[in-house]
Structure 1
Amino acid sequence: MNAFLRRWRDDRGAASTQLVLVVPVLLLLALLIVQFALVWHARHIAQYAAERALAAARIKDATAADGRAQARRSLAALSSRILTAPSVAVDRTAAHTTVRVGGAVMAIVPGLTLHASGTASGPTERITTPAGDRS
């Protein structure tokens, strides 16, 4: 019995030490999971805003400013806190329109700065005549 008591005294505090070491690691792991889920969500928001802006900017009489305005409206409706400091770039030519939306993702883990972006591109609508038309 004396040996059992001596062994029991040697292990005192081991559970507290293990708890102090393991809990912060588990907490950091949980925060990282939430942070990367937010990055995934922010990418979807940026992609959606880019696609909506492309739809607005590529129509026949639209301008790049129309696309930027639509992207800003989409971002305001969806990501007031998730996608911070968003940027919208619309490149519209006579043949092709490209929209890029990006921004920083809300930080859950201190000191970790992540970015999300979305890109959409497609042909600019224009009126054409069929090839070989003889008038």
Structure 2
Amino acid sequence: MMTLRSWWRPDAGSASVAIAIVFPAVALLLLALAQAVLVSVARDVALAAAEEGLRAARAHHGTPAQGHAAALAFARAEPVLQTPKTTVTGQNTIIVRVSGYAPSLLPGVRIDVTRTARGARERFTVPGQP
């Protein structure tokens, strides 16, 4: 015969409640981790695109237009940097700035990404001449 004490347990169902409390926190943590990875990759792509544009623009016969085209082509080839924009400025020191935004896992959230690369224009010199 079953007694009332053995049939009723005060902690019955506590595991379900604990899971209901912990699961959203774990899911939010995983979502934040995935978002951080997307932002990090978008920053890496923006920096690599800026460096590619810098290589093209600072070459001996390179132009800012060539740097702009190279940076934009590189950025557009990687879908993780959305709506990329590039600017190339400078005469002796070339500055290439690539901006866009990272994909967001939350609707309506926009995380801007901007990276800059700079370097001296390549020029050939002859010893003894300025």
Answer whether TM exceeds 0.5 for this pair: yes
| Inter-CA distance 92–107: structure 2 relative to 1 (3 Å threshold) | same
- 1:89 equivalent in structure 2: 87
Q: Select between 13-22 and 30-39 the one with higher mean Cα deviation.
A: 13-22
Select the structure with the greater relative contact order (CA < 8 A; seq sep ≥ 6): 1
Percent identity, aligned pairs only?
35
**Alignment partner of 2:104: what SS?**
coil
- 1:4 equivalent in structure 2: 6
Listed as ranges, the matches of 1:1-135 within 5 Å are 1-6=3-8, 8=9, 10-77=10-77, 79-80=78-79, 82-93=80-91, 95-131=92-128, 133=129
Q: Select between 103-112 and 52-61 the one with higher mean Cα deviation.
A: 103-112
Shift of 1:51: 0.7
**TM-score normalised per structure 1:** 0.81
Q: Distance in 1 between matches of 2:108 and 2:35?
A: 12
AA partner of residue 4 (structure 1): S
Corresponding residue pairs, total? 127
C-alpha contact (below 8 Å) 2:76/2:84 kept by paired residues: no
**TM-score normalised per structure 2:** 0.84
